[in-house]
Structures are given as structure tokens and as C-alpha cells.
Structure 1
Amino acid sequence: MNGSSADRLRRLRWVLTALFTVTNAIGLVVFAWIVVAGDSEQGVAKIDADLDRVTSSVSRLVDFDGGAIGFSLVNTDPLNGDCPQFAIMPGGAPAFQAHLSSRSCVPMDTGVLNGLAAEAVRGGRMVPGYQRGVDGELVRVRAIPLVSRGGKSIGAVVAVADMGPQQQHHVQFVLMVIGGCVVLISALGFAGHVLSGRSIRPAAAALQQQEILLAETAHDLRAPVAALRALAEAALDNPTQRADLLPRTVRLAATMGSIIDDLLVRARLAAGVEQLAIQPVWLDQLVTGLVEDAQTGGAKVTVTAAPTKVDVDPTLVQRAIGNLLDNAVRYGRKPGEEAIVHITVAGGTVTVADHGPGIDAEAATDAFDRFSSTGGSSGLGLSIVRWVAQAHGGTLSVYNADEGGAIFELRLPVSGS
């Protein structure tokens, strides 16, 4: 697979999103199928309950007095003019005049109704099912036998209900369920994408920082390693020059060690694994002690400091100010002149001013990024200063003085105690 490890991890986010969405979609589809099937069964059950109410009520209203069948009570009952409609048919039993309810809710062939009645009479049981009306509409039917006082089937009551309204309601319900599933699946897909992004983001950031660290290490150590090898080869080929070459080798090795330390600090800060040991620190004393112990190579460094206490990690802040001082001593000088650096400490701000050529205004913002120093360095030292400032909730600013030279301002949070 092409791309960096961080890119592959980001692609994994889409895989996780798809897996999360598909899994939930399958669950929703199964649930929707159960709900839709349940709605259909409930609709049929409701119609069957209405048909059962009609057939059982009408069968009790039929009069068997004197062996003759009478429909006087049926004619006066409200069911006779309501839906579902019904019919009282002989169904092959001793013939009598069939009776149809006064209201025709759905046109039905009387032959079909009599056939259902005949089936109920022959079997002596209730006959449910589906039929088609005269116009082809689907209807639900139920036929129950009429039993005389002697226990003989003498006909049947057939009730008929139009399935059209129930089917229309069921279709609307199905569309509503489908629409709800689409909305829920979309919402779950979006939520899965957000959650997978949040879970992968720390790992992706760590991988990216690791790749940046490797790239910066290779970039910053390539030249010192080549120079160190050249010095070692020169010392081997010229034993008489070893006394001169050895100090240069030691200084170059120290520079390489400083580069590696800066790279590790920045990587840990960027990855969020560096734990700040925040404590109240007298910033003026820290800067004064740092300048006294620094090797400035003959540069003239002055300090003006007012007592100021800040809440910081002293180790990281010391490294950051040391990088500012080192940057000013190395690159803050005019050709052929010694470096002059002045440091001011007041109100939680450390200002480092040099008398060098200054910094290009267009490159001022980029001066804190890696590989972007106007003096020929990797820019990593200033990048460390910016990371330290941000980690403490402070800022790092740079601008040119009117009389020449660059000015760097490191602002740190002042202690409340």
C-alpha cells in the first residue's frame, strides 16, 4: 500500500466508518423488517377482529323459530348498514332466500360468497381467507356456519372487508420506515466517521510526528556527520594535525548532541507526551544564571532583569531561552564584527535583541518552522522555543529593530503567587 503510515491510518478511518455503518445498517434493516411484518400482521388481525365481530353478532340475530329462518332482527341491527358487509347464504344446506346486508362496501359476486358458505357448511368450521371483488380489489373474508338448535348446519354467515385502506396504510408505514432507516444510517455513518476520526487522530498525529522527526534528524545530522567523518579521515591521514583536529571533532560532536536533544524535545512536545513540571520560577534569576554559564564564544552579552516570577517548567524554559541566546550569538552579528546581544527580563517577558542583519519580514512568520532560518541553520532551535511557549500558554514574537538587528520576545504566564 502506497503512502506514509499516517496516510494509511487515515484510510483506516474510512474502513472503520464503513464497517460501523454496514453493521448498524444490517441491524436496522432486520429491525425494520420485523416492524413492517408486525404492522402487516396487526392490520390483518384488526380486520379479522371486525369480521369476527360481524359474523358472531349476525349469527346470533338469525331467527330459527318454527323451523323457518327469519332475518327481522338482522334487518333492524346497525350492522346491517355498516362495514364490513355480510351475507347469509345457504351454502348447499336446505335452500332459503339469501340475505345481503343493505350496504355494499365492496362489490362481491354472490357465487363466490355462496362458495365460501358451502365450504363452511361442509366443514362445520370457520373459513378465513382472501378473495377478489368484482373490480379486482383484494378483500378479506370470513365465513362461519349457522347451526340450528338441533346442531345441524343450515347455512353460513359470510363477512367481507376491503383490504384497500389497510394496504394503503401499510404502504405509507413502509415508506416511513424506509425513510427513517435512511436518515438513521446516514446519521450513524456520520457519527461513526467522527468517532473513528477522534479515536485515530492521536495515533495519526504520533505517526506524523515520528515521520517528521526522522526527516528532521536526517536533514540536520547529514552535514555534521559528513564533517565529522571528514575530520576523522583527516586525523587518520595526518597524524601531525590530530592536536588541531581533535577539539574541532569534539565541538562538532557536541553540536550533533544538541541537535538530537532539540529534535527529541520537539517530538515529545508535538506528540503531547512531554509532561510539564509547572512550578513558580524567578525568571530573572534563571536567565542571569543561564547567561553566566553559557559559552558565547567571545560575544558581548548583557542582561537587564527585573524581578519577575512565572509558572513554568524550568528545564524547558531554560532550553528555550538558551536557544534564543545561541541563535543571537551565531547569526546576530554583522560580517567581521563580534556579536552584541542584549537580554531584557520584565513582566514575564524575555526579550533577546542582537545587532545582526535582522530578519526578512516575509520570513518572520516562517522563522519558527523547521528548515526555515535566514542564517543558514535548520531553524529547529527557534521551533523549539515556539513549542515551549505554546506548551505554557505563552507566545513567541520576532521583529526588526529600527536601528538594525532582530528582536525575539518570549512571553510566559506570570505567577499569581
Structure 2
Amino acid sequence: MKGSSADRLRRLRWVLTLMFTVMNAIGLVVFAWLVIKADRDSGEKQMDLELSRVTSTVSRLVGADGQAVVTALVGQDEIYQQCPQFAVLPGGAGDFDPLYSARECVRMDPAVLGGLAQDAARAGRELYGYKRAEDGRMVRVRAQPFRGQSAYLGAVVAVSDAEPMLAEHDNLVLWVVLGATVLTGSLALAGHLLSARAIRPAVAALEQQEVLLAETAHDLRTPVAALRALAETALRNPTQRGDLLPRTVRLASRMGSIIDGLLVRARLAAGVERLAVQPVWLDQLVSGVVEETPTDGSNVTLTAAPCKVMVDPTLLQRAIGNLLDNALRYGRQPNEPAIVHITVANGRVTVADHGPGVDGDFADDAFDRFRTGSGSSGLGLSIVRWVAWAHGGTLSVYNAEDAGAIFELALPPVP
């Protein structure tokens, strides 16, 4: 599979969406089938109960004297004038004149009804099912045989119009299918959004890792090349080794600081760096960082008002040190020492320099790629922002009105 790890994770999102949609679609199909089947079974049961009431009532009214069948009482009952319609028909050993109910609710072929009566009498049990009326309508039929002294003589056949029930059932099927389709689409969309939410941390971590690797290569390329050049010079000129050795040590120290900073940022990004939060006097912490940072002839001033914050002092010292180091390195005019002023008050640390400032794209980008105006990757500033976020604070950057850049680290002060 081609593409970066982040691209593969994005494709995985579509795979997860498809799997989620298919699984839900299968479940909805099964549920819809059960609903449709239950509705049809319920409708048929209602019709069968009504037909059974008719056939049972008429069978009790039919009298048998030997092989003779008496249907006089049937015509006297109110069921004779109602729907569902019925017919008392000969079958098996019976031979009598058929009797049809007075009300014809559905026009049926007598041969069809006679065949049902014959089948029920021969089988000796009730038969039911669907048949077609003469006009093509679907009807539900039920044939209940009745006995003489020794054999079945015929059957009572009841007929009910099934079209209303089938029409309601078809309407339910339409709505169930439509609802299942809409629900499947909604679940697919929800699955797509949920899968995106699920893999978002992994995608972000991979993208951060790729950016981190690219920035590492960028930041280490120059000192590695310089270190190699110093080593080659020392090999060619043994007499210069005394002068080259301190420069080599400084380069190695710089590379170590870059790697150390990368590890801190990676741990913060991965969420594995635990904060040892405690109350800290911010003015004293910043003052200590300023005193310990070599200025190499630069002018660094500090104005601080006592204020206390809840922070991890080790991480905050690194963040303040990175801000100061950034100002000393890039906050200067060409061939002039850096001028840096630090202000501490109310949980805010402001580092102002007199350099060329930052371009608008960098300021508006809010340290997305942590690029400084000098072309560095700005890894130190990215660590500062991570430290700020980890403590619920912010890191802002803007240009001064006269000249230079201003970086402001804001932390929630302790009441």
C-alpha cells in the first residue's frame, strides 16, 4: 500500500466506515424482515380467526341425519347475512344441495370453493390459504369439514377479502424499506464521523512524527556538516587541533540540546510526559534562568513583579530558556549584540528583542510549523508552546511598534 502512514490511516477510515455500514445494514435487514414477517403473520392471523369463527358457527348449525344434511338452521342465524361469506358444500360421502350465504362479499368461482370442500373432507382437517376471486382479487379461504355418523359429508368454506390487509402490509413494507435505507445512510455518515474521530489522534501523532523527523533532519544537517568539516580539518592540520577542539565540543553540545529538545517535544506530543505541578514563584524562576544563560556580550535586562503559578518547574525552565535563547540568537541586528528585555508580571513572561522581528505569516500561523524568520525550524518555540498548553496557558508572538519581536508566555496565576 503506497503513501505515508497518515495516508494509510485515512484510507483505514473508509474501510472502518464500510465495515460499520455493512454490519448495521445486515442488522437492519434482519430487523426489517422480522417486522415485515410479523406484520403479515398478524394480518393473516386476524383473518383466520374471523374465518374460523364463521366456519365453527356454521358447522354447529349444520345437522346430519345419517347421510342427509340439514341446513335450515343456518339461514335463520344472523351470520347468514354478514361478511365474511361462506358456503356449505358437499364433499367426501355427502350428497346434498350446496348452501351459499345470502351476502356475496367477493365473487368466487363455485368450482374453486367445491374443490376446497372436497380436499378438506378427504383430508379430515381444516384447510386454509390464499385463492383468487373471479375479478383477480386475493382472498383468504378456510375450509372446515363436518362429519356424519361414519364419515365426513362436506365442509363449510369461508372466504374473506385479503386485499385491504395486503395493501396495508405493502404500505408497511414500503415504509420499513425506506426507513431502513435512510437509517443505513445515517449510520454510514455517523460511522464515517466516528471513525474519523477515532483515528484522529493517530493521524495527528503520525503527522507530528513526520514533521518532527523532517525538522530534526533540518536542524541537525548544519551542525553535523560543520562537525565533519572540523574533524577533517583537524586530521589534515594536527597543529590546529587545540583551536578546533573547543568548537567541536560546542557543536556537539548544540546537537545534544537539539536532540534533548526533540525528545521533550515528542514526549509532550505523545502525552507521556507527566507534569510535576507545584506552586512556583515565576519571577524567581525566570531570574534564575537569566542568570544561568550565557549572553556572550548581549544585553539582557529583567523587570519582574512577584507572582506565583502552578507549574512543572523543570519544563517551565526549559520553556523560558528556549525563549531567551531564541531572542539571543535571532533577536539582533546584523553584526550587533542582541538586546533583550524580559518582563514578568501576573503570570506572564514577555521576552522582547530588537531584531528584525517576525513576518506576518509566521505570526498568523501560530507556530504551526514553528518557523522563524531566520529559516530555523523553531523547535525551541514549539516546545515553549507545548509547555504552555500543558499548563493551560498560551504562547503569543507579535512585532513591536519600533523594532523587534515580542513573545508572551501566559500562565494561569495562583489566586
**1:144–1:158: 8 Å Cα contact kept in structure 2?**
yes
Deviations 1:127-147 (A, max 9, x none): 334322111222222223333
For 1:364 and 1:92, the matched residues in 2 are separated by 101
Change in CA separation of 1:278 and 1:123 when aligned onto 2, cut-off 3 Å: closer
Q: Secondary structure at the match of 1:364?
A: helix
**1:310–1:348: 8 Å Cα contact kept in structure 2?**
yes
Change in CA separation of 1:336 and 1:23 when aligned onto 2, cut-off 3 Å: closer
User: Which one-letter code corresponds to 2:187 in the other structure?
Assistant: L
**2:262–2:379: 8 Å Cα contact kept in structure 1?**
yes
Deviations 1:1-45 (A, max 9, x none): 121111101211211221122122223323332332333333323
- Superposition deviation, residue 276 in structure 1: 2.0
Change in CA separation of 1:316 and 1:70 when aligned onto 2, cut-off 3 Å: same
**1:89–1:114: 8 Å Cα contact kept in structure 2?**
yes
Change in CA separation of 1:74 and 1:370 when aligned onto 2, cut-off 3 Å: same
User: Which one-letter code corresponds to 2:99 in the other structure?
Assistant: H
- Superposition deviation, residue 246 in structure 1: 0.9
**2:39 corresponds to which residue?**
39
- Superposition deviation, residue 369 in structure 1: 4.1
Change in CA separation of 1:173 and 1:413 when aligned onto 2, cut-off 3 Å: same
User: Which one-letter code corresponds to 2:147 in the other structure?
Assistant: V
Q: How many residues align?
A: 415
| RMSD of aligned Cα (Å) | 2.3
**1:367–1:373: 8 Å Cα contact kept in structure 2?**
no
* Superposition TM-score, scaled by structure 1 size: 0.92
For 1:362 and 1:143, the matched residues in 2 are separated by 88
Deviations 1:340-382 (A, max 9, x none): 2221211111122222233334543347343621134322222
Equivalence map 1:263-282=2 (5 Å): 263-282=262-281
Q: Which runs of 5+ in 2 are unaligned?
A: none
**1:80–1:102: 8 Å Cα contact kept in structure 2?**
yes
Q: Secondary structure at the match of 1:407?
A: strand
For 2:125 and 2:325, the matched residues in 1 are separated by 105
Q: Secondary structure at the match of 2:73?
A: helix
For 2:382 and 2:326, the matched residues in 1 are separated by 11
Determine if the alignment matches structure 1 residue 346 to structure 2 residue 345. Answer: yes
**2:147 corresponds to which residue?**
147
Determine if the alignment matches structure 1 residue 237 to structure 2 residue 224. Answer: no
User: Which one-letter code corresponds to 1:75 in the other structure?
Assistant: G
For 1:120 and 1:364, the matched residues in 2 are separated by 92
**1:60 corresponds to which residue?**
60
Change in CA separation of 1:128 and 1:327 when aligned onto 2, cut-off 3 Å: closer
Deviations 1:172-210 (A, max 9, x none): 222222223223322332333333333322222222222
Change in CA separation of 1:342 and 1:118 when aligned onto 2, cut-off 3 Å: closer
- Superposition deviation, residue 393 in structure 1: 1.8
- Once the two structures are aligned, what percentage of the paired residues are identical? 67
User: Which one-letter code corresponds to 1:323 in the other structure?
Assistant: N
**2:168 corresponds to which residue?**
169
Q: Which runs of 5+ in 1 are unaligned?
A: none
For 1:190 and 1:241, the matched residues in 2 are separated by 69
Moved more, 260-269 or 289-298: 260-269
Change in CA separation of 1:72 and 1:397 when aligned onto 2, cut-off 3 Å: same
**2:22 corresponds to which residue?**
22
**1:324–1:385: 8 Å Cα contact kept in structure 2?**
yes
Deviations 1:119-164 (A, max 9, x none): 334444433343221112222222233334x344443221112221
For 2:131 and 2:30, the matched residues in 1 are separated by 31
Moved more, 119-128 or 251-260: 119-128
**1:306–1:345: 8 Å Cα contact kept in structure 2?**
yes
- Superposition deviation, residue 291 in structure 1: 1.0
Deviations 1:227-274 (A, max 9, x none): 110111011101111111111111111111111122222222223222
- Superposition deviation, residue 409 in structure 1: 1.7
Equivalence map 1:195-344=2 (5 Å): 195-344=194-343
For 2:388 and 2:56, the matched residues in 1 are separated by 88
User: Which one-letter code corresponds to 2:155 in the other structure?
Assistant: A
**2:127 corresponds to which residue?**
127
Moved more, 33-42 or 261-270: 33-42
- Superposition deviation, residue 89 in structure 1: 1.9
Change in CA separation of 1:123 and 1:373 when aligned onto 2, cut-off 3 Å: closer
For 1:126 and 1:378, the matched residues in 2 are separated by 89
Q: Secondary structure at the match of 1:337?
A: coil
**2:85 corresponds to which residue?**
85
**2:184 corresponds to which residue?**
185
**2:117 corresponds to which residue?**
117
**1:333–1:339: 8 Å Cα contact kept in structure 2?**
yes
**1:98 corresponds to which residue?**
98
Change in CA separation of 1:99 and 1:291 when aligned onto 2, cut-off 3 Å: same
For 2:399 and 2:64, the matched residues in 1 are separated by 117
- Superposition deviation, residue 318 in structure 1: 0.9
Change in CA separation of 1:67 and 1:301 when aligned onto 2, cut-off 3 Å: closer
User: Which one-letter code corresponds to 1:349 in the other structure?
Assistant: R
Change in CA separation of 1:300 and 1:201 when aligned onto 2, cut-off 3 Å: same
For 2:392 and 2:124, the matched residues in 1 are separated by 91
**2:356–2:404: 8 Å Cα contact kept in structure 1?**
yes
Q: Secondary structure at the match of 1:342?
A: strand
Moved more, 22-31 or 219-228: 22-31
For 1:362 and 1:28, the matched residues in 2 are separated by 51
**1:353–1:406: 8 Å Cα contact kept in structure 2?**
yes
